[in-house]
Amino acid sequence: MGTKLSELQKEKIREIDDIASVSFNQEQKAIAKKIIENTPDSDLHEVFNFITQRVKLGFVFDEAPEVNHDAVSFVRENENLNINITNLENLAGNIEHKLIIGENYDALKNLLVTHYEKIDVIYIDPPYNTEAMKGDGNDYKDEISANKFIYRDKFTRNGWLNMMNERLKLARKLLKDSGVIFISIDDREQAYLKVLCDEIFGEENFVANFIVQHNPRGRSLSKILAQTHEYCISYCRDYKNLKPFLLNKTDKSIAEYNRQDEKGLYREMRLMNGNRNFTRQERPNLYFPLYVNPQNCLVSTQRNEKYTDEVFPINSFNVEQCWTWSKNKIERENDLIVARKKSNGKWGIYRKDYLNENSSLTKTKTILADKMFNNENGTETIRKIFNDSVFSTPKPVELIKYLVNFVLPQSISQSSRPIILDFFAGSGTTAQAVMELNAEDGGRRECILVTNNENNIAINVTRERLYRVINGEGINGESIKWQYSKDKKCLEGNSVRVFEIETHELSLKDLEKAQDLTNIAKGELQKLNPEYDINDELKIYSELASLNPQKDK
């Protein structure tokens, strides 16, 4: 080769590298790169699409939404909409969240500049592609011209998948390498979304397809069955960095841990191995007597004047079983062993099993059936906050708290400032969930919401909700029925910086205008992330160019 690669060729090669190895193996990637290196920029988009569509498994997704190269779209703070932002820089203890009002594709591109690989958790609840959602601004079905499609039979579904595909590809780049994404979805698109996510995040990074019992009575919409559940699909950026998802304190399985001492909650497990394959014959070295001190129920491997009562691992059918721990282990960890008198008057020997990260029982189950996850709780919360049902499909706050807490438990959230992003924010449930979690465990989680302003929802619902839960009253002083807890009226100590997305005509040939816009964009992007700081002139132009907005539909 030896020839210099163009910027576009480099970008396409990076995209090839980004494709999950299950969809595109190393050999295929090498061939693809060779083709790209030998293709002129003018043909590169088509050739790239051709190569990736040929090799990928599963469905074929359409091209990205077209971008408008003669304009840039960047976030701009609207101070009039801010909530409790003061000029006193970073009031001690205050946590600043962000609300971006506008098309999420454009918002995600802005976030790529400021938050590349900086997001800990993404939760989204996109439109489920039901007819009822038609007209919410995401219906590309009728607009995609025939020549953009290779397989026309996927036409209508492709509209939805296209929309998700483009956004999820950007979202993946925002995730930290320990980051996790959760996507609520129902039966209509679940299977298709799963395949799409396999392709974007890699099958190897699939975490779970949670079943959420959102309506225990069932929706009457189905003629044959009562639909009681939907899903929450979850992927991580890199499976090897994922920590176990532990149960929350509210989970029922934790009820088994019904004893407590200075080391925490524990349950008692029988020390005798109840498995029939583990008898004295099979494990002779695990068959030995233990001695109980009847005064304090402590246990020793040696008999003496205090430890008098001899116990063997013999079950109720008089079968000689064995212990689960060796003599050595029992001596080493003797403080975990206790004896209890059973109803038949004989001694049972138990070991304490503390609730901790290694315990299998503390891992969460993939069916989320608790009533706190019912959708009607979301509706009820909205009703209390607004004294009215102003939004029809809010998620229950508890569901999002539960999910976020898997990835960002108290231990992580007190010591760092993790970021949670929701780019289909709707009524803003995710921000309320984040603020509530912080109030409960002293965490410092920050939330970024993105929502469009269909029917003025962003102003009348999203922002107003955040204002109300933070201040305990409406923007015009309206009193509300919602209260955070018995002794805490609202979620004070939080503020929200509100941005809108602004679009400017621009040709990068008009250097003077580009320079002016760059300066404005840079200042605004810095408000989105105060750590964002780019001084390299060339980089600024390329960052600005990356903010080309999606073409008007």
Q: Give contact residues for ligand SAM (rule: CB under 6 A).
A: 103-104, 125, 127, 136-138, 378, 391, 393-395, 424, 426-427, 429, 450-452, 454, 457
For the bound state, the minimum distance from the C-beta of residue 98 to ligand SAM, rounded and expressed in Å, comes to 14
Can you tell me which residue has the tokens 């008007």? Answer: 552
Pairing of strands 175-185, 119-124: parallel
Q: Which is nearer to ligand SAM, 321 or 427 (CB)?
A: 427
For the bound state, the minimum distance from the C-beta of residue 290 to ligand SAM, rounded and expressed in Å, comes to 56
Q: Which is nearer to ligand SAM, 166 or 524 (CB)?
A: 166
For the bound state, the minimum distance from the C-beta of residue 165 to ligand SAM, rounded and expressed in Å, comes to 13
**H/E run at residue 98:** strand 95-101
Encoded amino acid at 429, one letter: T
Q: Which is nearer to ligand SAM, 68 or 393 (CB)?
A: 393
For the bound state, the minimum distance from the C-beta of residue 426 to ligand SAM, rounded and expressed in Å, comes to 2
* Residue 302 near residue 276, CB atoms below 8 Å: no
User: What per-residue string of b and e applies to 158-187 under the rule 16 or more CB within 10 Å gives b?
Assistant: bbbbbbbbbbbbbbbebbbebbbbbbbbbe
Q: How far apart are CA 449 and CA 384, in angstroms?
A: 21
Q: Which is nearer to ligand SAM, 362 or 377 (CB)?
A: 377
For the bound state, the minimum distance from the C-beta of residue 61 to ligand SAM, rounded and expressed in Å, comes to 17
Q: Which is nearer to ligand SAM, 452 or 471 (CB)?
A: 452
Give the pair of three-digit tokens for residue 302.
């040696």
β-bridge partners, 232: 184, 210
> 98 phi and psi, to 5 degrees?
-125, 140
Q: Which is nearer to ligand SAM, 266 or 402 (CB)?
A: 402
Across the beta sheet with 337-341, the strand order is 259-261, 264-270, 347-354, 337-341
Q: Which is nearer to ligand SAM, 160 or 347 (CB)?
A: 160
Q: Which is nearer to ligand SAM, 182 or 266 (CB)?
A: 182
Q: How far apart are CA 445 and CA 435, in angstroms?
A: 8
Q: How far apart are CA 198 and CA 192, in angstroms?
A: 10
User: Residue 191's CB: how many other CB atoms inside 10 A?
Assistant: 12
For the bound state, the minimum distance from the C-beta of residue 553 to ligand SAM, rounded and expressed in Å, comes to 10
Residue 325: alpha-carbon gap to chain centroid: 39
Q: Which is nearer to ligand SAM, 9 or 451 (CB)?
A: 451
Q: How far apart are CA 426 and CA 458, in angstroms?
A: 7
Helix and strand numbers, DSSP H then E, in the chain? 15, 19
* Residue 271 near residue 350, CB atoms below 8 Å: yes
For the bound state, the minimum distance from the C-beta of residue 197 to ligand SAM, rounded and expressed in Å, comes to 18
**H/E run at residue 421:** strand 419-422
* Residue 469 near residue 484, CB atoms below 8 Å: yes
For the bound state, the minimum distance from the C-beta of residue 545 to ligand SAM, rounded and expressed in Å, comes to 22
Ramachandran area for residue 449 (φ above 0: left; ψ -120 to 50: alpha; else beta): beta
Q: Which is nearer to ligand SAM, 127 or 313 (CB)?
A: 127
Exposure of 485 by Cβ count < 10 A (0-12 exposed, 13-18 middle, 19+ buried)? exposed
For the bound state, the minimum distance from the C-beta of residue 456 to ligand SAM, rounded and expressed in Å, comes to 11
Residue closest to ligand SAM when measured from CB atoms:
426
For the bound state, the minimum distance from the C-beta of residue 394 to ligand SAM, rounded and expressed in Å, comes to 4
Q: For 516, how many CA atoms within 13 A lie in the half-sphere containing its CB?
A: 7
Q: Which is nearer to ligand SAM, 257 or 499 (CB)?
A: 499
Q: How far apart are CA 377 and CA 396, in angstroms?
A: 5
For the bound state, the minimum distance from the C-beta of residue 169 to ligand SAM, rounded and expressed in Å, comes to 14
β-bridge partners, 293: 298
